[in-house]
Structure 1
Amino acid sequence: MAVLAVVTSLSLDLPLRDPDGFLGPAYLRLPILVGGAFFADLIPRTIWRSHFDPRQFKRQARLIVREHWTRERIQLVLIGLLSFYATYVSYRNLKNFLPFLRVKPNGDPITYDNFMLRLDHRLLLGHDPATVLHHLLGTGVSAYVLSWVYLIFLPMVPIAVIAWVVWSRNVSFGYWFVTADCMAWSLGTLSYYLIPTLGPNFQAPYLYKDLPDTGVASLQDSLISGRHELRFDPFINAVQSVAGFASLHVGITLMMALVAQYTVRNRLIKIVLWTDVVLVTISTTYFGWHYIADDIAGAFIAVFSFWIGAVATGQRFDRRGRSSHPTTTTSRVPVDVED
């Protein structure tokens, strides 16, 4: 992904951009992420294991570092975060280049939105998916709830990576998640170029005129304005982030839930993640981010990435795929078949 982003940047003579540069340069954010992951694990566990006795803090902290922060764990954290960040930044830049690469002879970007709109109507026997959801769920409180669900995805992406590389019970589970995550972002990028679309809200905004002014509405206005500005001035300090097929909100959240189903013991976490998959999928249609085909493609990307990640990191599925166990081990984290 990184090589492809660099080659594309050079061929278009357009700069690579740090998509979240407003948070500071990458060379500062990455050490902060690594340090934050370390202290997010160390501090609460030290306090808990010392029973809130300050005299035990130092001793317990040393024990936790010795027990948990092994060489293999540190390697996982560094490799995992660097791989994710390189993939994600490349994804954002390749998405940014899309309107300049997939173009008609007259220079306008190629889109398949009209076809996708017709497909949605045929699948629902002449009805529009968003309109159906607006009638079923209403356009009041539900809009604000679904807006929050959709927007929480943004911080969930890096938090989930940190959670798996720091707290996975077996180091191979962390590699499984990171591999599946990077694969999903990469396949999502490919899908943008195969079938470029804007999304129903940008193609047919009249379908969403009854929705209130939520955080999602503000984000959509910002994204479409940024796309128009970038098309006329490719060198502005911004990235265009409008692409519909496939839905990576669906792809990434479903991939998280699938990996959690096989690697996490806590039932509540699994319930929360599967509930999030359902609500995110609904929100993508409710607000017009995606067509039905986008969500289906996102689900396919999730399942395929989950499986590829499992194979690549030595996971073996049991009971006709209903459970799994790792076949890889490390010097300090032995394989436990019951895990």
Structure 2
Amino acid sequence: MVGRWWRAALAWPYTFGVLVAAAIGITAIVFSAQLGIALKDPEGFLGPAYVRLPLMGLAFFAAGILPLALKRAGVRHVVRGMRDIVRDEWSWSRVAHIATGLLTFYVCYVSYRNIKGFLPVLREGVNFDTMLTRWDYWLMFGNHPADLLHSLLGTGIAAQVLATVYVSYLPLIPITLAAFLVLNRDFSLGAWYATALSLNWVLGAASYYIFPSLGPAYTNATLFDALPTTGVTQLQESLFINATQNYEDPTGAPIWGIGAFASLHVSVTLTAVLFFQRTDQPRYLQVIAWVYFVLTVIATIYFGWHFIADDVAGAFIGWVSVAIAGWATGNGFWRQRHHKIQLTADGDADSESDSGTVAKPA
């Protein structure tokens, strides 16, 4: 009996991700209890994470079945068509896998944000900005990387474009997760992506404690005086206000949000890029993802969020997260999965994962 349960646990693509979520969740609870700082739910563009993630899931559920319902039954009988699709192609197992992916991501993200928020208290007085600044000047032959980018790209249109790219990361990542979980019929691929993103939060939280740092925008702000007001400017000001409140009263202030090493903007966007590539997504999607990643890297330096070492460390975290999550979900550590996203189809899609079995590496 034990052996059967053990084999089932190993076969389930979410076993590793759930264990990771449980570990970081317990860590956040222990830190919170020891420090006397209550856990907080970070709010986003659609409210708290426990609201926006289910909303995204429902939105993609509707987006996935509505066109097929119209195709099957026409406008007059679209409700009947949707009901038939749900009956034929949506099982409780499929819903459970989607819910597990969203919950794993949610627990890891909220725990990461809170553990990051405890940083000024647990690592009080420890700061590596001077060391990271020196590395930047050495790598750029005595120049600051941000200065070079401002001279090369200018501080007009480039600032607006890069700011849009940088801020758009906040909704885009959970949107892509919801899309893969809901629209994809291969459970192991959704588990792979959810687990990889979750590992980013865990490894990122650890990296903040290894090299606590604020970033050039907060330690050498005059370098960025020439930049126009953008969404990034507003975000940096908001985080600065939160930081001031945390220094005054960490128990009552919003979650601390400043951390340079490592760059999770870089790690998470590279995770998406590598995942799209490893799962053989359409070429145009891969190209868009790579362009977005490159612009994100530039934006992190351009606006002073990060040092060069932060971006290098972030890229490493992203690569490791995709590799480990691929292995943990049965998709292979190195090998490419030639499985494009399998949308709910009108009876002709491969149903290899409707039973909940893990697709093995090709």
TM-score surpassing 0.5? yes
Say if 2:108 is the partner of 1:96. Answer: no
Contact 2:204 2:317 in 1 (8 A): yes
Map of 1:324 onto structure 2: 337
Summarize deviations over 1:152-200 as a string: whole Å, max 9, x none. Answer: 0000121121011112352110000011110111000000011000001
Helix, strand or coil: the match of 2:337?
Answer: strand
Say if 2:130 is the partner of 1:114. Answer: yes
Map of 1:36 onto structure 2: 59
Map of 1:233 onto structure 2: 249
Say if 2:110 is the partner of 1:80. Answer: no
- Alpha-carbon distance change, 152 to 243 in structure 1, aligned in 2, over 3 angstroms: same
- Cα distance, 1:76 vs. partner? 1.7
Matches of 1:50 and 1:174, distance apart in 2: 27
Map of 1:269 onto structure 2: 285
Summarize deviations over 1:32-62 as a string: whole Å, max 9, x none. Answer: 4443342232234423x248x2234134313
- Alpha-carbon distance change, 193 to 45 in structure 1, aligned in 2, over 3 angstroms: farther
79-88 vs 261-270, which deviates more?
A: 261-270
Map of 1:199 onto structure 2: 215
Matches of 1:192 and 1:159, distance apart in 2: 26
Question: Which AA in structure 2 matches 1:121?
Answer: Y
- Cα distance, 1:271 vs. partner? 1.2
2:193 pairs with one of 177, 194, 208:
177
Contact 1:94 1:189 in 2 (8 A): yes
Matches of 2:230 and 2:281, distance apart in 1: 36
| Moved >4 Å (runs of 4+) | 21-31, 333-339
Question: Which AA in structure 2 matches 1:271?
Answer: V
- Alpha-carbon distance change, 122 to 25 in structure 1, aligned in 2, over 3 angstroms: closer
Question: Which AA in structure 1 matches 2:30?
Answer: V
Map of 2:32 onto structure 1: 9
- Cα distance, 1:264 vs. partner? 4.5
Say if 2:258 is the partner of 1:242. Answer: yes
Summarize deviations over 1:268-293 as a string: whole Å, max 9, x none. Answer: 21111111110000000000000000
2:42 pairs with one of 19, 31, 38:
19
Unmatched runs of 5 consecutive residues or more in structure 1: 104-108
* Identity among equivalent pairs (%): 42
Question: Which AA in structure 2 matches 1:323?
Answer: Q
Map of 1:153 onto structure 2: 169
1:224 pairs with one of 240, 244, 258:
240
Question: Which AA in structure 2 matches 1:122?
Answer: W
Contact 1:2 1:87 in 2 (8 A): yes
Matches of 1:119 and 1:50, distance apart in 2: 61
Matches of 1:337 and 1:5, distance apart in 2: 34
Matches of 2:146 and 2:218, distance apart in 1: 13
Contact 1:91 1:189 in 2 (8 A): yes
Matches of 2:359 and 2:114, distance apart in 1: 40
- Cα distance, 1:28 vs. partner? 5.1
Helix, strand or coil: the match of 2:332?
Answer: strand
- Alpha-carbon distance change, 135 to 73 in structure 1, aligned in 2, over 3 angstroms: same
- Cα distance, 1:111 vs. partner? 1.1
Map of 1:282 onto structure 2: 298
Question: Which AA in structure 1 matches 2:217?
Answer: N
Map of 1:106 onto structure 2: none
Helix, strand or coil: the match of 1:246?
Answer: coil
2:75 pairs with one of 54, 64, 75:
54
142-151 vs 232-241, which deviates more?
A: 232-241
Summarize deviations over 1:97-116 as a string: whole Å, max 9, x none. Answer: 1000002xxxxx31100110
Q: How many residues align?
A: 327
- Cα distance, 1:231 vs. partner? 1.2
- Cα distance, 1:225 vs. partner? 1.5
Say if 2:267 is the partner of 1:251. Answer: yes
- Alpha-carbon distance change, 208 to 16 in structure 1, aligned in 2, over 3 angstroms: same
Contact 1:325 1:336 in 2 (8 A): no
Helix, strand or coil: the match of 1:55?
Answer: coil
Matches of 1:311 and 1:22, distance apart in 2: 33
Helix, strand or coil: the match of 1:111?
Answer: coil
Q: CA RMSD in A?
A: 2.4
- Alpha-carbon distance change, 68 to 284 in structure 1, aligned in 2, over 3 angstroms: farther
9-18 vs 260-269, which deviates more?
A: 260-269
Question: Which AA in structure 2 matches 1:272?
Answer: I
Question: Which AA in structure 2 matches 1:75?
Answer: A
Unmatched runs of 5 consecutive residues or more in structure 2: 1-23, 340-351
Summarize deviations over 1:278-324 as a string: whole Å, max 9, x none. Answer: 0000000000000000000000000000000000011136xxx5622
Map of 1:64 onto structure 2: 85
